[in-house]
Structure 1
Amino acid sequence: MNSVLNISCYKFVPLPDAAQLKETLLTQARAAQLKGTILLAEEGINFFLAGPAEAVRGFVDALREDARFADLAPKESWSDHVPFRKMLVKVKREIIRMDHPTIRPAQGRAPAVDPATLRRWLEQGHDDHGRAVVTLDTRNDFEVDAGTFDNAIDWRISKFTEFPDALRAHKSELQDKTVVSFCTGGIRCEKAAILMREEGLEHVYQLEGGILKYFENTDGAHYHGGCFVFDERVVLENDLSARTATDTAAAAAENAIKK
């Protein structure tokens, strides 16, 4: 029976008190007997947590009491065990490293497209203005290999800091198209979409909530394979169930998020 609730969530919001928040959130998470990872930076919060549903949702409700986190909207999935080995809270320079300091999502997001609209665009072969639609995978190559959208653009980057250079090398291929950037849960494609707009591409959107929200809100059409996740489940199918993984792969998946 899948009785363990898993959530992933992020928000770009100024957190000058990230260091102080670290101890507070670690104490609260441990008190709730949760496991997972919370990343904090001056640019925001990114977290992956698992435990009993009441405890997980109670932790999020407590977070929402801080006005900066009032609109948190976690993505949910279920498992039969907790797919994390410990509870970690870390303060980092960026909650998702891009090494591009002019990208500040808290100061204004790029336009987003919801999963249902993207599914419709892919089904009809164009956006609502008749413009060709391409999906751009902003994840690392090993994640893409687990599954991606049909005909998605994949620049085979090995880490997100390579994305800006890859964009500049391939930008001309995206001109005059509607580009939908996507990733696991939305955090990377949000930064990617802002950068693409800064680089002069006009018709750029981020997939709201990433692949996980697409799985949650649609039937998963136009996506083949599963979605790599950074915990012991390793890969989720389009019904958000876990694909069987080896212990080695599970450990590698959990370690990847700690880097």
Structure 2
Amino acid sequence: MSIVNISAYKFISLDDLPALRERLLERCEVLALKGTILLAPEGINLFLAGSREQIDGFMASLHEDPRFADIAPKESLSDSVPFGRMRVRLKREIITMQAPAIRPEGGRAPAVDAPTLQRWLDQGHDDDGREVVLLDTRNDYETDLGKFAQAVDYRIASFTAFPAAIAADSARYEGKTLVSYCTGGIRCEKAVLHMQELGMQHVYQLEGGILKYLEDTDGTHWQGDCFVFDGRVAVDSKLAPTDVPMPAPRRDGKEITP
């Protein structure tokens, strides 16, 4: 498999969106990359595919911007490019939650890395002896393909439904350590900040999401496949493309996007 697929995000205030869009689009076109980059006042979210040389060339140029110098993408391989074109889109949010008071660029949410989470799950508690509960913040069509064993799944149709779902159910997590997770980390970062706003304690995000967990561990405790937002549809526990079909359109009629 010679195609490198990367995903990455960063919450950071951006005030030069049109110029940044043109600069990134031009660079991607010069490198013949395909994929999607989302830009918003709150940050950047990207999904790109190409050869190792093309991807490394893009990341080198992205890191020249001090705002993005610390972005470290998650990687997986495929035989072909899973995108049909290159898009750089301007949006109100890089992940839509419709909760403007939640501003991750003001300070990151507490996080636990993949090896630590695996160890907690192996031993049945965190390092302070608290029960660990996993919370899936993804949409229902994603969790249908796979999730962590015994994770809480609210069966939401879109991330905008998450704030109400967790607010109505927060009492169940009292005295426990709650680790939220999503595909690459972006949704669970906002989710944890929202839960802190609700007064919930001992709440963490899984650093780098499912993709980083599968990259850095042997995949124990994960069941099924992981939905990805490109032509592969999903990857297995070894980050290899699967042959599952694309899920049906969202119930609200909008396209399935990150």
Are the counterparts in 2 of residues 138 and 192 from structure 1 also a CA contact under 8 Å?
Answer: yes
Report the secondary structure of 2:118's partner residue: helix
Look up the equivalent residue of 1:101 and give its one-letter code: P
Structure 1 unaligned blocks of 5 or more: none
In structure 2, what is the equivalent of residue 87 of structure 1?
86
Are the counterparts in 2 of residues 232 and 251 from structure 1 also a CA contact under 8 Å?
Answer: no
CA separation in 2, counterparts of 1:200 and 1:250? 35
Look up the equivalent residue of 1:199 and give its one-letter code: L
Look up the equivalent residue of 1:257 and give its one-letter code: T
TM-score, normalization by structure 1: 0.96
Residues 204-257 of structure 1: per-residue CA shift (max 9 Å, x gap): 0000000000000000001100100000111100100011134xx28969x511
Q: CA deviation at 1:57?
A: 1.3
Report the secondary structure of 1:73's partner residue: coil
In structure 1, what is the equivalent of residue 47 of structure 2?
48
Are the counterparts in 2 of residues 233 and 250 from structure 1 also a CA contact under 8 Å?
Answer: no
Aligned residues: 254
CA separation in 1, counterparts of 2:203 and 2:182? 14
Residues 104-160 of structure 1: per-residue CA shift (max 9 Å, x gap): 111111110000000000010000000000000000001001100000000111000
Matched, 1:100 2:110: no
In structure 1, what is the equivalent of residue 115 of structure 2?
116
Distance 1:79 1:251, change over 3 A: farther
Residues 19-48 of structure 1: per-residue CA shift (max 9 Å, x gap): 211111111101100000000001000000
Look up the equivalent residue of 2:129 and give its one-letter code: G
Report the secondary structure of 2:188's partner residue: helix
Structure 2 unaligned blocks of 5 or more: none
Matched, 1:21 2:2: no
Report the secondary structure of 1:77's partner residue: strand
CA separation in 2, counterparts of 1:218 and 1:66? 31
Are the counterparts in 2 of residues 232 and 250 from structure 1 also a CA contact under 8 Å?
Answer: no
CA separation in 1, counterparts of 2:86 and 2:75? 18
Are the counterparts in 2 of residues 131 and 178 from structure 1 also a CA contact under 8 Å?
Answer: yes
Matched, 1:39 2:43: no
In structure 2, what is the equivalent of residue 65 of structure 1?
64
Q: Please identify which structure carries the higher helix content.
A: 1
In structure 1, what is the equivalent of residue 256 of structure 2?
256
In structure 2, what is the equivalent of residue 188 of structure 1?
187
Are the counterparts in 2 of residues 137 and 152 from structure 1 also a CA contact under 8 Å?
Answer: yes
Structure 1 ranges of 4+ moved more than 3 A: 250-253
CA separation in 2, counterparts of 1:107 and 1:87? 30
Residues 25-81 of structure 1: per-residue CA shift (max 9 Å, x gap): 111101100000000001000000001111111101101100000001000000000
Are the counterparts in 2 of residues 196 and 204 from structure 1 also a CA contact under 8 Å?
Answer: yes
Look up the equivalent residue of 1:166 and give its one-letter code: A
In structure 2, what is the equivalent of residue 166 of structure 1?
165
